[in-house]
Amino acid sequence: MQHRTWVEISTTAIKENITNYRKVLPKGVKIMAVVKANAYGHGRDICAGTAIKSGVDYLAVFTMEDAVILRKNNKSIPILVLKQIDVQDIKIAQNLNIDITISSLPVLKEVIKFNNKNISKKNLNIHLKIDSGLSRQGFLLDEVKNVVGLLNKNIKIKGLYTHFTGAESKKFNSYTQSQVQEFLIWAKAFEDIGYLPILHTSATSGPLLLNVLAFDMVRLGIGMYGLWPSSEIKNIMEKKLTLKPALSWKTVVSEVKTILPDTGVAYEASFITNKKTKIAVLPIGYWDGLPRSATNNIDVLIRGHRCRLLGRVMMNMCIVDVNNVPNVIPGDEVVIIGHQGKETISADEMAICAGTINYEIVTRINPEIPRIAIK
């Protein structure tokens, strides 16, 4: 049975992106491969396995559920859950050797209580999350004394980390530097009581604009998949760093017909033909992740030609203009994102057309759509 739509993931592209990114980092800096959100829509299991084979030092996911699944097939690599630990999951983390995030005093106290009761068993691997200015997860600066005062020799603080607000743009450099300074206060407080945790502050962007932001480890997310965090970063770095998009998204033509002038296309006649028009119906819509906001405003590739979407993106279907495509027939391959012939449609192009960012385009591709590993 043929898939009506599918995603192809180039494992070679992922490996090369990791290798190339490592070259721009200071020597000795570790890489944490971030495979949260189904590996940014690319397929968690494919991408985690590829990252491990490429020599990354860590994996990161957002949920304990993802960590448990990955641990079944990856026994030794450290895995960090970025979401603050739910108290009921502490024992799972201990049993499976999964690193946990703590970002609030009540949870820290619960974890310490658990640890004191289970002192003879293996240590929990704890990363403390610092809110240095994003106002999301994390301890605030005025909590530093309380946090440090709670720790004892039985508590293993493996990592200390934060997340930047706008490291992908130079206009936020001063804000980013202020976050660094706040983070360093925390690092010094831990050093003063004999803790030397792994320090990690940056996702893909940070070290590319400010090399000092690498610290001990970088959380490589969007860059691992061959996408740039921003056009500004791309313009600054593309001559020094080669990133190759790993994802191609495809479907097939399901029906071809010719309609007359003044014919309405899609719901609410959201496009009206002004001439006799040959159209192709594609079995893909917003359920699959095609942005409804891109109505009348995106192209797909059929037989190497750009074909404009006509009318509204529907739940399971959309319609494209194939007037200029010779011999198009049902079953022809259609590229939503990727290459065909001499043409390319990127996640960045689709994001611009949909009024969003490349992150959202790829992460919203429905996880039920098959991900197929290719070289």
Identified catalytic residue from 36, 83, 129, 250: 36
Q: Give me 158's structure tokens.
A: 């493996």
DSSP character at residue 37: H
Choose among 126, 203, 124: nearest CA to 167.
Answer: 203
Burial code (b: 16+ CB inside 10 Å, e: under 16) for 330-359 equals: eebebbbbbebeeeebbbbebbbbbeebbb
Residue 312 marked in a binding site: no
Distance CA 241, CA 218 (A): 16
CB-based contact 180:141 (threshold 8 Å): no
Amino acid at 322: V
CB-based contact 139:151 (threshold 8 Å): no
DSSP character at residue 309: B
Residue 32 marked in a binding site: no
Residue with tokens 């404009």: 308
Q: Give me 350's structure tokens.
A: 């689709």
* C-alpha distances in Å from residue 8, one per residue of 43, 225, 343: 10, 12, 17
Identified catalytic residue from 121, 122, 240, 267: 267
36 is known as an active-site residue: yes
Who contacts 49 (Cβ-Cβ below 8 Å, separation ≥6)?
73, 74
Helix, strand, coil content of the chain in percent (nearest 5): 35, 25, 40
275 is known as an active-site residue: no
CB-based contact 347:247 (threshold 8 Å): yes
Distance of CA 36 to the CA centre of its chain: 6
- What does the H/E/C string look like for 175-236? HHHHHHHHHHHHHHHHHHCCCCCEEEEECCCHHHHCHHHHCCEEEECHHHHCCCCCHHHHHH
**Which residues are catalytically annotated?**
36, 267
Q: Indicate the annotated binding residues for substrate.
A: 136, 315
Q: Indicate the annotated binding residues.
A: 136, 315
